[in-house]
Amino acid sequence: MRPRLGPAGFFLIPALALILVFYVAPLILSVYISFTPLKNWNLDRYLGETSLDNYRALYSLMRFDPDFQKVLKTTVVFTTVTLAVNVLGGLGLALALYFMDERLSLPYRVLWLLPRMTPVAVYSLLWYYFFLGSPEGTLNSILMRLGVIDEPVQWGTDPRLLPEMAWAILVIVNGFVGVSFGMIVFYSALHNIPREQVIAARVDGASTLQLMRYVLIPQIRWHIVYVTVWQLLSLLTTFAHIFLLVEWGVVDRYWGQNLALYVFLKAFSGGESYQGLAAAAATILVVIGVVLGFIALRVMRFREMMVEPKGELG
């Protein structure tokens, strides 16, 4: 049969057009730039000649530049740990919320949504003061008052505490932003499970843990996959909070930098900027994201979860 533009195609056109203009086109452009030696936005001079030089440069940076190696390690650790915190934390919060009294649940939800609702700069500023290395920093002043430490600690930059402390700060700051997403998605999914199933399980003698393990969590596994993949991709590309933390000196310049921020700084920082190199790093980031996304779907057995459609479509 010859494919025809059915009603589905018709309704997809606007969305496809938007994706084309705002996503596919820039993507192609940036892949193209990654093969050019574009520097300091000097388009006239550098566009046109293409080579693999940027990728070669990245490869040797990876092998020989200790700072770039720090960035890569930070990216891996930051992404995986924050992902675990986001998904497991979101799941834990949603389950707690599910078993919680109605009256408590609203303030509780708002509380956890605050980090996401607060503007990035304000939210980061709170953490800036919290981890500030002077005696006035919140954490320092608390610990000094308690007598745990005598001197103020440079939490994110003291070489003796690197890299773990810098990583911890990144995970904490971003973790609080991310958990609310999982919490909201999981909570609404849990609420869609008929209440009678929970009652039936209780009558059959299920403890709260067994109820979660055998009845509730298996039924929201699709949502867990969704949140995991979504958070993975957004963590790979996030840099707003991290940028401020680095700029304000809360964390070490390299032990506190992920690849997404590296791309941003290379392309847009003052002084010499290297758009070609940044584009190459960005391209690699996209490839990593796509590959990891597929692996995640595979590992979570996405296919098995696809239910056969109820009727015959098409």
Residues, the chain? 314
Nearer to other proteins, 172 or 217 (CB): 217
Query: Exactly one of 23, 214, 268, 294 binds other proteins (CB under 8 A); which one?
Result: 214
Stretch that binds other proteins, among 178-186, 191-199, 234-242, 280-288 (CB under 8 A): 191-199
Q: Where do we find the tokens 């290379």? A: 266
DSSP letter at 308 equals: P
The nearest distance, CB 205 to other proteins, in angstroms, is: 3
Query: Exactly one of 204, 208, 269, 299 binds other proteins (CB under 8 A); which one?
Result: 204
The nearest distance, CB 98 to other proteins, in angstroms, is: 16
- Here the tokens at position 306 are 């696809």
Nearest 5°: the CA angle 242, 240, 60 is: 60
Tell me if 194 contacts other proteins by CB under 8 A.
yes
Nearer to other proteins, 134 or 192 (CB): 192
Q: One symbol per residue from 217 to 246: x for binding other proteins (CB under 8 A), - otherwise; what is it?
A: -xx---------------------------
Stretch that binds other proteins, among 35-43, 110-118, 194-202, 285-293 (CB under 8 A): 194-202
Enumerate long-range contacts of 297-301, CB under 8 Å, 24 or more apart.
Answer: 297/225, 297/229, 300/221, 300/224, 300/225, 300/228
Nearer to other proteins, 196 or 272 (CB): 196
Tell me if 96 contacts other proteins by CB under 8 A.
no
Residues with Cβ within 8 Å of residue 118, at least 6 apart in sequence: 126
Peptide bond just before 159 cis, omega within 30 deg: no
Cα(265)–Cα(243) distance, integer angstroms:
9
Nearer to other proteins, 146 or 307 (CB): 307
Query: Exactly one of 210, 234, 237, 273 binds other proteins (CB under 8 A); which one?
Result: 210
The nearest distance, CB 308 to other proteins, in angstroms, is: 9
Cα(123)–Cα(41) distance, integer angstroms:
32
Residues with Cβ within 8 Å of residue 68, at least 6 apart in sequence: 61, 62, 262
Tell me if 206 contacts other proteins by CB under 8 A.
yes
Tell me if 307 contacts other proteins by CB under 8 A.
yes
The nearest distance, CB 201 to other proteins, in angstroms, is: 8
The nearest distance, CB 209 to other proteins, in angstroms, is: 11
Stretch that binds other proteins, among 21-29, 116-124, 145-153, 199-207 (CB under 8 A): 199-207
DSSP letter at 160 equals: G
Q: Residue 36's beta-bridge partner residues?
A: none
Judging by beta carbons within 10 Å of its beta carbon (0-12, 13-18, 19+), is residue 246 exposed, middle or buried?
Answer: buried
Tell me if 215 contacts other proteins by CB under 8 A.
yes
DSSP letter at 2 equals: -
The nearest distance, CB 93 to other proteins, in angstroms, is: 23
Total of chain residues touching other proteins, rule CB under 8 A: 17
Helix, strand and coil content of the chain, in percent to the nearest 5, comes to 75, 0, 25
Tell me if 49 contacts other proteins by CB under 8 A.
no
Query: Exactly one of 51, 60, 197, 269 binds other proteins (CB under 8 A); which one?
Result: 197
3-state secondary structure of 156: strand
Residues with Cβ within 8 Å of residue 157, at least 6 apart in sequence: 133, 166, 249, 250, 251, 252
Residues that bind other proteins (CB under 8 A): 194, 196-197, 199-206, 210, 214-215, 218-219, 307
